Structure 1
Amino acid sequence: MKHSGIDYEAVFQALPAAAALLTADLVYADVNEAYLRASGRTRGQIVGRYMFDVFPDNPNDPAATGTHNLQASLLRVVATGERDAMALQRYDVEDPDRPGRWEERYWSPVNAPVLGPDGRVALVLHRVEEVTELIRARGGRFGGDRTRALEAELYTRARELQEVNERLRRAHAREREVALSLQSAMLPAPGPLGRRRGAVRYQPAVGSLNVCGDWYDLAELPGGRFAVAVGDVVGHGLTAAGVMGQLRSALSAAVRVADGPAAALDALGLYARSVEGAESTTALQTVIDCESRTVTYSSAGHPPPALLHADGTVEFLDRATDPPLGARFEHIPRIQAEASFSEGASLVLYTDGLVERRHEDIDTGLHRLADCLSRHRRADADTLADTLLAELIPPGGNTDDTALVVVGL
């Protein structure tokens, strides 16, 4: 744990606040000295054990919720990769020297993810501040009755805050369900693409609201050509789903009459100026010509599609990328480019949830994608789509939704 001459293990042990490192399975990986002092436990009693085997809820108090609330917070951090600051918790602790005797304790926990090289949550940093002594100190000034009243008030306020959070969570869950249903109704099932096989996938985000901004579209065009598009609206929930539906429909119509992908995105960009919430949307439009074996493409700030050639090499189509919709003060015609392919190639379009991870350069995600495609170059479109999601999406889910289209060429 040394870097640039700094011993981070020593720093961790010297932290004045009680801190513990937990695995994704909520097993103690390490604790600092302040945590041992606060808990009244030895390192051997904690490290390597499941957290809630060491610190269960008080069985004599049917209203005890500390374990339930803390476990929910920790699992949320593991699933989403997002930091979670909890409300004040009453969490009784059993005296290790006097089994069956429980002390009322009050804690203020913060749980933060520690990401591994693959962008997934490897550890959770659990930091706690105990405020029990503060309450007791105030009790020394006001008297025992005042102490008990203050404890009861703090506990009541904490429970009320938890109830508010739970109501918000349920409301968010309802909005998520409605938004996902709306999105499902607006996203088309893949139709026939001549002799080509296409597969589409949509993977919702783990978070309650970070869904429904991504879309895909497939359309047959005259002359044996077909168009494939993906896009990503900034925002989430019902608002993003509504904007997504408008933009997807507009681009699907535009590509049928426009002279190429760039002209279709030009039309979409002009239309987006009249749609509230469409600013900074990214979109990618491709037109595939099976007779000339070319892919013509244009991107409005979107991650580049991947062209998997039959020999396993991967070409990222990044020679026609302009800013997202609405990013320019004045309308400027967009550019497009062309790439060639041979029989047995595959084209992969996706949204950023497939490749982007917090605290990681996007090139790392693109390398992961290219490696996965090369290893599975002989898979059909459906198998390849399922494999990409299985290998590239973190096991606990992602904090951003992901749309994916794979077309066998």
Structure 2
Amino acid sequence: MRTLDELFRPYPRLSRARTQDDQTDIFDLLDRTSMVSGSLALTFGRRPDFFKFLRIQGAKLIVFLMRNEDSSLQGIASMTIRPMKHDGREVAITYASDLRTSPQLCRSARLQWRKMYAELMKELPTVPEFQGTRTMLTAVWDDNAVAQRSLVKKNKNMETLYSPLQDYSILSVLGRFWRRRDRGDVRPAEPRDFPGIRERLCSPRNPRQLAWTPEDLDRTLSELGRSYADFLVLDHADGSKSFVLPVDQIPGRTVIVHSLPSFWKYLRGFLRVVFRLDIRLGGELRIKSLLFAGANQWQDEGESLSRFLHFLMNRDLPLPAEKRPHLYSVALWNQPDGIRHLRRRGFIGTTVGAKIYQVHHQDTPALKPEDMRMDNLEVFLL
């Protein structure tokens, strides 16, 4: 059994983030790198506290640094560990994110990272800092050509493998062609709703489905600055309930737009004229996220989601244009037609496909998708 410090020892170009100077270097690297998906280029601002968003992802966090011979930071990778329930017991799930490398990363640092990463994957369950983790997950956009080319595509020389587990779609709704009155069936959650929300997220529908632990769900809501009273509830005619948690700008992360797909460029002009909303290149994108929507597993072709969206848009309409969201974002599991259903209901938007992958050593068998279901997870908190 080796500790992380012992794993690092043979690799002088690698280290862990520990100081304020490390955070300053991380901000500089993030300013120099962008996340590209097709013709959409974004950077994620994390000032003033890089670690704030990571604390939402998990109570335990580790940030790896890759430096050149001159000590300049040219690469980072983050990992967070969250306790979850799976197959009738509590397990540690590690999520890998924030993998950013600049073109200036030297060859020796790049090779050291690949070798150390492979060793970590092989020894993961016994490395004490990872609290017995046997499963590491990560998310990759389908249109992220760089990640698909360098990480996901199988290569016989790669020791670290990425095996797909579950598809999801990020729906970005920018507006609607017509207003619809609230039907009165969407309302703020009341104390009588709190136990049901908590039970839905913490009680899997089948043993192979990942579910929250009550303690970590409460911790995550606290890090978000939210509580059960901030959920919205939709009362269905059959007595059942759906819920979402609307969050303006998830704490610890801002999204800066540098280039847009042609579809968005057209919508940008439409939004400026019709809704007085201006998406500026180089400016912050104001996003209202509808968290935990995927846990509802709707099968009503967008009707429930459309009611939540109308409620929120009606509530936000009186706000000054500079404070209204540019878009409403929601992540749904295994629903590639989600945006088409919303367009039929008068909404304007687009979608990005993505997958959750298991990250594992080549000597470790890959999980089958049916072995670990993600439906109760919220990908915006990964």
Q: Tell me if both proteins adopt one fold, taking TM over 0.5 as the criterion.
A: no
Asked which structure has the greater CA Rg, the reply is 1
Greater share of strand residues, 1 or 2? 2
TM-score w.r.t. structure 2 length? 0.28
Greater share of helix residues, 1 or 2? 1
RCO greater where, 1 or 2, for CA within 8 Å and sep 6 or more? 2
